[in-house]
Amino acid sequence: MKTEPNPSNWEVLAGMVERVTYQNAENGFCVIRVKARGHRELVTVVGHAAAISAGEWVTATGTWNSEPWLLWIVAA
């Protein structure tokens, strides 16, 4: 069973949206690729956002998956 994230393991990620891979207009679920500070490669960010497009600056708070390049958004 997966445990719910708590503030002690949240991390803040900030960067420029390079690509919107997927976005559901009905519920806001999205998968985006972000060029984030402190990361050489693009980071995949998964979560919910009202509207988002390439070129925007984003700041997201979430927990890392088992992969170092995938952040699950807790709050954006």
CA–CA distance, 50 with 35 (Å, rounded to integer) = 20
Give the residues across from 64 on adjacent strands. Answer: 71
Domains of the chain with bracketed CATH: 11-75 (2.40.50)
CA–CA distance, 4 with 26 (Å, rounded to integer) = 25
Give the residues across from 39 on adjacent strands. Answer: none
Q: At residue 1, does pLDDT exceed 50?
A: no
Q: Report pLDDT for 32.
A: 93
CA 4 vs. chain centroid, Å, equals 17
Per-residue pLDDT, averaged over 48-76, amounts to 77
CA–CA distance, 27 with 42 (Å, rounded to integer) = 25
Q: Report pLDDT for 38.
A: 85
Q: What is the pLDDT of residues 13-53, one digit of tens each?
A: 899 999 999 999 999 999 999 999 888 999 898 888 888 99
Its pTM stands at 0.78
